[in-house]
A and B are shown apart, each in its own frame.
Chain A
Amino acid sequence: MFDDNTYSLIDGYLNGTLSNSNKLDFEKRLKEDSELYEEFIIQKDLFHSLDDNSWAFEEQPNLDEVNTLKTYFESDDAKSIAAAIAKSNTDYQSSKKTVFKLPRFVYPIAASIALILGYFLLFEKNTTTDSLYAEYKNWDDLPSLTVRADDNDNSLTKGQTAFKNKEYKEASAIFNNYLKNNTNPQATTYLGVSYIELEEYELAIKTFNSLLEGQSLDRSKGYWYKSLVYLKLGDKAKALETLNLLLEKESNYKYQLAKALKAKLVKL
């Protein structure tokens, strides 16, 4: 058992008030005397635990405990609980943010503003085949055309550049010319979309049909773009018919998006 002198030494060491030689001497004793070391650790922890402004960090954790906890935190169970906690946090914080108090006299004004806003929002929400077309058309996801050995005069590159610059007339001419002697489903897609932009809807449908007649992996793109053409034309029935063909196979192009689009279209 330790006397009060030992405690004074421990305190002196923790407070940094020991002389250099006493400090080195004490450190040596700590290394040699495991009982003293244990006492020292407890006193040090107590200093930090019972002082309201401090905190006892753990520098020598029991590794068995650490591993048990580690295994748990890596489990799916732990992850799903953490996700549930994060969700509750989001729910709670967002519910607090929308609550704000207004002076009483503001309420009638706020109510009439809400009424007017509601009126406009109602109109905003009015979906049409045209608005669905605008929502779902996205030419940015057209693939970049790969340069091919048989493309002697760089027509694919030129066509793509024209398309990017929204010069659809030129783009359609280049792709049309190229496709006279070549088969290239990507170029066909570019041609069809160029026709949409030129409002040549019949030509667009014809082009996408030719894509569908082929055997390429890109063939199902024909359904997607065709359904967009029908949306643009306001032909709900034909658009739905085409989407249904696309939805026959889960591996088809834009399957998930087509599902969402169909759901919205049905409601019109």
Chain B
Amino acid sequence: MTNMGNENTNYFCNSLINGDNIGINKIYQLVYPKVLKFVLKNSGQREDAEDVFQRALIQLSARLKLKRIEFHSSFEAYLFTICMNLWRRDLNLKKRRVTNIPNQEHFDEQSDSIQEILEQEKWELYTEMFNKLSDNCKEVLGFYYNKVSYADIVEKFSYTTESVARQRVFKCRKKLSELVKKDRRFKQIKAI
């Protein structure tokens, strides 16, 4: 990361930690238009974008206060990812309610924020561990988790048979699971 980027990140983080309106206004100018575009493109409304963005900032401020966040990319990219995930979460929550999958009862706003934070942290843990895998594993699992059939995976990677493909997927999943279990964050998030 460039020095300039670091300075920006520090300034924005401090604005969120201190509730400084000038800094937060700058965050709005810099990132909100992209979030609005994303939400509108993904069957959301203007109000959804506003809601998502505020929740993302609240989440980020809480985490900056209580924990340490490592920014692997720019502040803007990190915030945008949180927004994307919150919107993803909202859309899936609607689906869950419609299909009536037994779900914990709906809590208040505060519990929602807590839930959202833990889920974002979990998502970060899983994706980070995923990125530690070999390029080949990442590619194969990328297809697998996005519901591409084994037949198509065989074709794409020129495996000789489907069972070779299955073995490959199995090995990569096992490796990923081991990485997750080893990470101390896993137990911090989950009560298992």
Contacts and interface: CB of A to CB of B under 8 A. Distances in A.
- Do A and B come together as binding partners? yes
Interface residues of B, number: 62
A63 B118 CA distance: 11
Contacts of B170: 4, 7
B13 interface: no
Contacts of A61: 114-115, 118, 189-191
A58 B177 contact: no
B88 interface: yes
Interface in A162-180: none
B11 to A, nearest CB: 15
B37 interface: no
Interface in A42-86: 42-43, 45-47, 49-63, 65-66, 68-70, 72-74, 77-78, 80-86
A63 B45 CA distance: 34
B114 A70 contact: yes
Given A42-B181, A56-B119, A73-B110, A49 B127 contact: yes
A171 B123 CA distance: 73
Contact of A38 (B127, B189, B192): B192
- The B interface, classified by DSSP as helix, strand, loop or mixed, is helix
Contacts of A263: none
Contacts of A42: 177, 180-181
Nearest to A83: B19
B181 A50 contact: no
Given A45-B122, A91-B25, A63 B191 contact: yes
B161 to A, nearest CB: 14
Contacts of B146: 50-52
B70 to A, nearest CB: 18
A2 interface: yes
Interface of B: 16-21, 24-25, 27-29, 32, 50, 53-54, 57-58, 61-62, 65-66, 85, 88-89, 91-93, 96, 103-104, 110, 113-115, 117-119, 122-123, 126-127, 130, 141-142, 145-147, 166-167, 170, 173-174, 176-177, 180-181, 187-192
23 contacts: A4-B170, A37-B192, A38-B192, A42-B177, A43-B177, A46-B126, A49-B126, A49-B127, A50-B141, A51-B146, A52-B88, A53-B88, A55-B119, A57-B93, A57-B115, A62-B191, A65-B118, A69-B113, A74-B110, A81-B17, A81-B61, A85-B61, A86-B54
| 4 residue pairs, one from A and one from B, having the closest CB atoms | A84-B19, A50-B145, A81-B19, A88-B24
Given A46-B173, A73-B114, 20 more contacts: A2-B174, A4-B166, A7-B174, A43-B177, A45-B126, A46-B177, A50-B126, A55-B119, A56-B126, A57-B89, A57-B115, A57-B119, A61-B190, A62-B190, A69-B117, A70-B110, A70-B114, A87-B21, A89-B28, A93-B50
